[in-house]
Every structure is written in structure tokens, then in C-alpha cells.
Amino acid sequence: MRTHRIAVVLCGLLVVTACGAGDGGEPAGDSLEPVVETSLGTLEGEHVARDDGVLVFRGVPYAEAPVGENRWRAPVNRASWEGTRSAATFGPACWQRLTPASSIYTRGELDRDEDCLYLNIWTAAEQASEARPVMVWFHGGGHTGGWSSARIFDGTALAKKGVVLVTINYRLGPFGFLAHPALTAESPHASSGNYGLLDKVAALEWVRDNIAAFGGDPANVTIFGQSAGSWSVCYLMASPLAAGLFHKAIGHSGGCFRGGRPDLPAAHDAGLAAAAELGVEGDGAEALAALRALDAEAVLDSDLGSGAIVDGWFMPRPADAIFAAGEHNDVPVIVGALANEGTTLYANMPERTEAELAALLREQYGDHAEALLAAYDPEVEKSTKWGAQAIQADRSFVWEMRTWARAVEAGGNDAYLYFFSQAPPVFRIYVPERAAIDMPDGPDGYGAYHSGDLAYAFGNTQLVGIDWTEWDHEISRAMSQYWVNFAHTGDPNGDRLATWPRYEAAVDEWLEFGSDIKTTREVRKEKLDLFDRINAPAW
């Protein structure tokens, strides 16, 4: 373990007066109350209704509203305010399409707005000088949906375990990822796109400057996220703009090692074509003014960008190349995936004949198709849909997470890899009050489905969903404690927890959360090694 991480622990646990003071922090020894002074002004939060020992501050602005001239610009520093600002209400979700009510991922009727750059804080610190470890959460949703205040992300349980928990909104879809020559021309960095990722950098800068006022340690920040939020964690590890803003990272089901992200010229071409579909031609200031004049619904219904690009600034080169060169932000990680990521995420895949599946795999994977069919023969035997879901999910998630662990290990830092095989009860992830949904027709139901580990990691199996078992609650208690231990020290291990070994590619040990919590080896090794040959990683 590296000595710089020992220094972080000393700062977080011992030298609280020196390390805990930050911009906007209260004087050491002051009791932490619902009214807190930040670098921008005074905020008034409140005690969590069901737990007077936890304070929550909702809807805290970390940047100016990205509207008008600020649409498709890097986040602008928030201006200070006079008087006391209420932090009792969550801010609106960023603009996104609504998910059908029949989906496990339905978000219901969201309050959506372009003015959405808000964060939320939960803290159980009794004094501002405590310098507790900080965890900053990035929600998933494919960079096109999701929001920070879903009940499943309630931070009360993690705050009670000793961290200061922050969740953030960030720009999505065409609002967060449009690249266009006119935007690049006005940028001092000759770049455009990736605004939804730049929002995360701005949020981390806000945490650095203000979290000490809430009892948090700005020198001990762990970023974590799921799906697109985990992609974001991976991109932040690769980005020079995030250097020094976080000290540990946790990724649930999403990495950045397959490549395939467009570069700036390709993204320009896509932006110009999408703008032309809206009747906006040209690449100059007039075209940009016309785009900024579009109403939010028109932008939402467009194809004006939906994902990260290699923009030459936030991401100077492809993320996998940055890791391969050892130029990433060098922090320890926990990363992992679930056993059945594809059952919900790819629920609309059709059932094909075996000949049709073989033809599709030859089109996608060329000479590797026969090896894939052989490796996934048991899954295809269940059904071709199940087999196709398993192939796509292992490549997109399980392989990505093992590759991430190996990249960090190859760089000389500590990685901890997990595999989540416990099948949770099936409930709507983002609208849990709507409770359960019908199980699908198929050989094994949903299994351990994409996003199924969220309630466990947040310690919220007692808060959301129905039909949890006592073992589910036990996994939740353990998983959330591993996460908190890691946020404290960079090592998830602790008393009354199964030992979690550091990842070594030569041994290939994972911690499995399933019918037991135990170390297992070589999870899907033959299949993941095949994807190594297909994707050719550099470690």
C-alpha cells in the first residue's frame, strides 16, 4: 500500500484541526447545526425526519444554471447569495425522457428543468471539525436519464456509518454532450461536448471548497457511481481536470476500456447533422444562437449528442490509452459487476433461431463468433435471448470491471474486485413506492440484474422495495460497511467482515456477494479471457 494513502488516513483521523479546515468551514469545535456557512452563503438544512442524528441539505447549487448563454458551456462558478438559503427541498432532475411505467427503471413523473445543477448532503457529524471521509455519488441512466434524489440513494444509512454523503445531478443527453464547431470556436480550450462530465468536476471542486463546513474531509474524497455513473468515475480517473479532487474510486457495473468513443471531429460532424435536422445550418455564431434559442423539449427530442467524447481537454486521449500509459489519476479502487446485468437492460432483445444468433455474432465479432458460441453454449441452450443477453452483458460489464481492476493493479495501486450474484426482489429501482413488478417469462427470471446492488450498497434495503429476506439485509449491512471502510482508509476490510483480498491478475480473486459472502476465483475466466482477445487490452 502506498505511503500517500497513509497520509490521507492520518489527515482524516488524527490531524483534524489542520486538515479539516476548508473554505467556508466553521471554527473547530463548533457544533454542527442545520444552519451552515459555506463559501457562497448560508444554507439551512434539516434533521432527517426518521433520524435526528443526521442532517440533510437538499438542492444545494454547485454551479450557475446552465441556461441561456450558459447552455453548452462548461459549468460557471455559482455566485454567492445574501441571507439564508433554504436547503429543505431537492432540486429538479435534469432534462430527460420519461421512462415507460412498465419498466423496472421507470422514473415516474419527474420534475425536470435545465436549471438542475444541484447536490445533496447527508452528515451525522456532530462538529464541523470532525473531518469525516466524503463519498460523492454519480447516478446511472446511460448519460440520458436518472437523478440524484431518488429514494434509493438516500444517504442516511451511510452517514450513520461515518461518512459525509453527497449526491449530484449532472447534465444529460443532448444538454450534456453536444459537440459543435461553433461551441469549440468559443471555448478557450478549443473543445466542446462532455458538459455532463465537466459538471462532475465542478461538483468535486465545490466539495473541495465547502465540505469541511459539513464535517467532511476535503482531503479524503471517494467518488462512486453505477452504470453511466461508473463510466463517469472511470473517465474522471482518466481526466487531468479531476487530478487531486478525489482520493479513492468505486465503480458499479460500468468502465471505460472498450474504446469506441468518437473524437472531436467525428462529434462535430454528428452535431452539425443533428442541428441540420432541427433546421439549424452552419457552424458559426448565428447557428449557435439559434441552437441556444431552442426550447428544452426540442433539444430533448433531438440527436444533439448523448455520450462522452475524446474532446482534447477533459479527455485528451481515449481513456483506455490513458490508463495503459499510466497517466491516469492514481487512486485505489473497488470495482465490480452483477451476474445477470443483461436481463433487465437488454430485456427487449428478441428471441432468435440459433442460426440467426450465429449470423449476428459473426457480423459483430468476426472470427471470434464460433468461440463465443462455444463458450456460451449453456446460456444459449436455455434460450437464444438469454445467451445473447449474457454475451452482451459480460462484454459490457463483467469484462470491463475485471479489466479496470487489472489496469489499476498494473499501475501499482490497490484494486478490490467484486461479483454480485444475489438475486434481489424485483422492484422498480427509481420509484420504489410502486413496489414490485411482474417477473419475466424466461428460464431464470431476472437474477442479479443491472442496478440490483444499489439498495445494498447504500444500506437501504430497509427503506425501499418489498420482499427482502434477512440475508438481503445482512448483505446490505456488509456491503455498505465495506464501502465505508474503503472510504476511510482505502481498504474495505474490517471487523466481522469476510476478508476481501487485493486483486492480483495472477490469482484472479473476487469477493462474491451471493448465497454467502466469500472469496471466489476466476469468475467466468474462459469467457472474459475471450473478450481480452477480442478487445486486446494493454495489460
pLDDT in tens, 222-273: 999 999 999 999 999 999 999 999 999 999 999 999 888 999 999 999 999 9
Question: For 93, which DSSP code?
Answer: B
In the residue annotation, 227 being an active-site residue is answered as: yes
Per-residue pLDDT reduced to its tens digit, 290-335: 999 999 999 999 999 989 999 999 999 999 999 999 999 999 999 9
Active-site choice (148, 149, 227, 396):
227
Least confident piece of the model among 93-102, 329-338, 347-356, 413-422: 93-102
pLDDT at 104 over 90: no
How is residue 7 written as a grid cell? 497520509
Least confident of 39-48, 84-93, 423-432: 423-432
What's the per-residue H, E or C state across 385-403? HHHHHHHHHHHHHHHHHHH
- Beta strands 164-168 and 51-61 are unpaired
The answer, yes or no, to whether residue 22 has pLDDT greater than 60, is no
What is the reported pLDDT for 440?
Answer: 53
Work out the pLDDT band at 431, boundaries 50, 70, 90.
low
Which of 373, 264, 253 minimizes the C-alpha distance to 318?
264
CA 293 to centroid of chain Cα atoms: 31
Residue 10: pLDDT over 50: no
* C-alpha cell read off for 496: 466481522
pLDDT of residue 125: 97
* Higher-scoring residue by pLDDT: 167, 26: 167
Return the number of other C-beta atoms located less than 10 Å from residue 141's C-beta.
Answer: 24
When pLDDT is cut at 50, 70 and 90, the band that residue 445 belongs to is: confident
Q: Which of 106-120, 195-209, 357-371 has the lowest mean pLDDT?
A: 106-120
CATH class for domain 3-169+180-257+316-348+382-535?
alpha beta
Average pLDDT of span 180-195: 98
User: Is the confidence at residue 7, as pLDDT, over 80?
Assistant: no
For residue 106, pLDDT beyond 80: no
Nearest 5°: the CA angle 99, 104, 108 is: 40
Q: How far is CA 144 from the centre of its chain?
A: 13
Q: Which residue has the cell 461536448?
A: 193
pLDDT tens string 127-160: 999 999 999 999 999 999 999 999 999 999 999 9
pTM of the model: 0.92
Mean pLDDT of 368-392: 95
pLDDT of residue 175: 98
Q: What angle do CA 352, 442, 337 make, to 5 degrees?
A: 95
Instruction: Band the pLDDT of 111: cuts 50, 70, 90.
Output: confident
Residues 484, 240, 96, 305, CA torsion sign: negative
Question: What's 332-389 look like in SS3?
Answer: CEEEEEECECHHHHCCCCCCCCHHHHHHHHHHHHHHHHHHHHHHCHHHHHHCHHHHHH
8 Å CB contact between 44 and 86: yes
Burial label for 444, CB within 10 Å (0-12, 13-18, 19+), is middle
Pairing of the two strands 415-420 and 333-338 = parallel
CA distance 66 to 184: 17
pLDDT score for 539: 63
| Whole-number average pLDDT of the chain | 91
429 pLDDT higher than 80: no
Q: If residue 297 lies in a helix (H) or strand (E), which one and from where to where? A: helix 296-300
pLDDT bracket for residue 436 (50, 70, 90): low
Contact status, residue 25 vs residue 213, Cβ threshold 8 Å: yes
Antiparallel, parallel or unpaired: β 42-44 and 46-48:
unpaired
Task: Give the mean pLDDT of 372-398.
Answer: 95
